Amino acid sequence: MRKTYRVLGLLIALAVVVQASAIAFGTFGFINEIDRGAVFTPSSEPPNFGPMLHAINGTLIIPVLSLALLVVSFFAKVRRGVRLALFTFLAVVVQINLGFFSFDTPVIGLLHGANAFVVLGLALTAARAAAREAPAPAAPVVEEAIA
Amino acid sequence: MAVKHNTRMVVGAVATLLILAPLAVMWLSSLAPAGYSVMGMGRAELGGGSADGLHAGHDDHGWDGPPPGPGDVSVAELTGPAGGEPDVAVQLVARSEQVQLAGTRDESIPAYTLNGSTPGPVIHATQGDLVQVTLANESVPDGVTLHWHGVDVPNAEDGVAGVTQDAVPVGGSHTYRFVVEDAGTYWYHSHQVSHEQVRRGLFGVLVVAPSSGIAADHDVVAALHTYGSAATLNGAGGEHHYVAGPGESVRVRVVNTDNGVLRAWVAGAPFRVVAVDGRDVNAPTPVTDAAVVVAAGGRVDVAFTVPADGPAVLVGVGAAALVVGPVATAAPAGTPPTEVLDLLHYGSPADLGFDPARPDREFDYRIGRRPGFVDGRPGMFWTINGRMYPDVPMFVVSEGDVVRMTIENSRSDNHPMHLHGHHAVVLARNGVRATGSPLWVDSLEVDRGESYEIAFVADNPGIWMDHCHDLEHAVDGLVAHLAYTGVHTPFRIGGAASNEPE
């Protein structure tokens, strides 16, 4: 379970990096096409797979991973594991909402971009917490963490 | 230790259940059967009017809805004139094939064609004509239908797979017969897997001339469609030049066949908006330096006179443009105006023919969005009155009812709302009453955060779709129905014909 927790944390972090790469790919794709005279309307297909990847990864894969991290945290003996998983999940929920609000109010995109680092930081912290040696079973601190 | 360990496992298991059980329930309850009737879908809303056997206790009859009783009419019986020689007879053959669009830099693209081209042929008719169109499906694997967008046809001719007919399979054919009672600009398109079939070209334009003839020297169709990333007019990309002499009058029929809203504008001459969605504007005044919003699925006819001296006239149609003028005249340089003409305050008021202040039924069509499942598919989906497809409203009306509807949009996206079989008049936007010419629409652009009040007379019995014409949104559940008391449909969504109207 500990290992699963750690792998899930790392996968979320990796998925966040993919998000940044995908949206940069998409944005430069649009700019490149526009510079060559293309006109985009709501009916145009995007210039590459970047925006689609960002959408699927962000609304499906990352939420599922962060939900899985939360469930696994209940069983994995990781110090502050539940708390970190819960914060990661909440940060993802906030992130998705910021993303959807940004279509109406683009300036919210500034927060969407910044909050990505919160998700990344929490996921990496969770993965690191699971990497530490399992504390001795008798250690009181473990009991505290469980309670 | 063992106790602690067990406690942890139990708490963990309970927490997991608390998280996953609601998700599992949501997922399970979103699953639709392989075939079902829209008569049993969602909830009946009566809007303050009475119900009948087909809609009372709607919720208790599962996916088929209450059984029809004696005297109830099937959609299949609500046809156009069965006998009589058609004034306009057209054969359309639907195919799935590669096409090379003129004036685009794209290689040939996979498309759906009618009589070998996309768009299909422009069908010309005159007000009062009996139109007969025979649709044969040669090779479109999912099956096809033709919906007469904006023509208030009898219900059986409406061309909605699973609601008014079965999709026409490969090798099959279906004949549509109806009288075009109102002059104007319309279009036709498949309403089977429409989000894909329309995007890939299964559509065409229908122009109904008034019996008195078209009062312009030139009558030009400008149907915008985006294939891939290529914006085209009438199926061709690149520059469009239409030859018209100095001083001649021109009517351009802008048809938005895309999923997105477009702006139409004219540079080089003042113009008038003479018709919207196939209904004339009363006393239109000249417009300069303002664009007109054309909802997805909507039509706007603009009229102008080519200047006696000077450059040609440029008609901007979304990402495409049309130059109208004498040969070898340059197009004026033009950028789209930032100002948008407000059609609610354009032209002069006229008699509506009914009193919207005394409605028989009043409905809300509130659009929202939230995460969830539609038929087991996870995602962000549209909600109507707080519920997700297929738990969507069935708005129940009786023939002769005056109906008012408030369409309220959240801030998630804009929605071109399309009511089949009827034209509704726009009464107000965001509480501000319309003061101009009566604005009759079948496709209404509802922007983010906007609310509209519309009214119509229920004068065309049937089961009618009332949905978003951003067809991707329709797939994601932004579909409701308007149902007349005493009318039922024997057709099914899914089922043997694999009907999939969205």
Question: What pLDDT is stored for residue B424 in this prediction?
Answer: 98
Q: How far is B447 from chain A (nearest CA, A)?
A: 11
Cβ pair B261:A42 closer than 8 A = yes
Is residue B177 a contact partner of residue B163, using CB atoms and an 8 Å limit?
A: no
- What percentage of chain B carries pLDDT values higher than 90? 83
Cα A71 to Cα A57: distance, rounded to the nearest angstrom: 20
Sorting pLDDT into bands at 50, 70 and 90, what band is B42? confident
Contacts 24+ apart (CB under 8 A), A51-60: A51/A22, A51/A23, A51/A26, A53/A18, A53/A22, A53/A25, A54/A19, A54/A22, A54/A23, A54/A26, A57/A15, A57/A18, A57/A19, A57/A22, A58/A19, A58/A95, A58/A96, A58/A99, A59/A96, A59/B371, A59/B379, A59/B380, A60/B378, A60/B379
In this prediction the pTM is 0.93
* Average pLDDT, integer, range A38-50: 88
pLDDT tens profile A106-146 = 999 999 999 999 999 999 999 999 997 655 554 444 444 44
Cβ pair B369:A100 closer than 8 A = yes
Model ipTM?
0.82
Q: How far is B413 from chain A (nearest CA, A)?
A: 7
Cβ pair B8:A146 closer than 8 A = yes
Sorting pLDDT into bands at 50, 70 and 90, what band is B89? very high
Question: What pLDDT is stored for residue A141 in this prediction?
Answer: 47
Nearest CB among B20, B259, B412 relative to A42 is that of B259
Nearest CB among B4, B378, B412 relative to A143 is that of B4
Lowest-confidence segment of B237-241, B359-363, B417-421 by average pLDDT: B237-241
Cα A13 to Cα A17: distance, rounded to the nearest angstrom: 7
Q: Does B433 touch chain A (CB under 8 A)?
A: no
**B11: nearest CA partner in chain A:** A74
Nearest CB among B1, B258, B378 relative to A43 is that of B258
**A59: nearest CA partner in chain B:** B379
Cβ pair B258:A38 closer than 8 A = no
Hey, of B7, B16, B195, which one would you mutate to test binding to chain A, going by the most A CBs within 10 A of its CB?
B16
Residue B371, beta-bridge partner list: B380
- Give the position of tokens 């119900």: B51
**B381: nearest CA partner in chain A:** A59
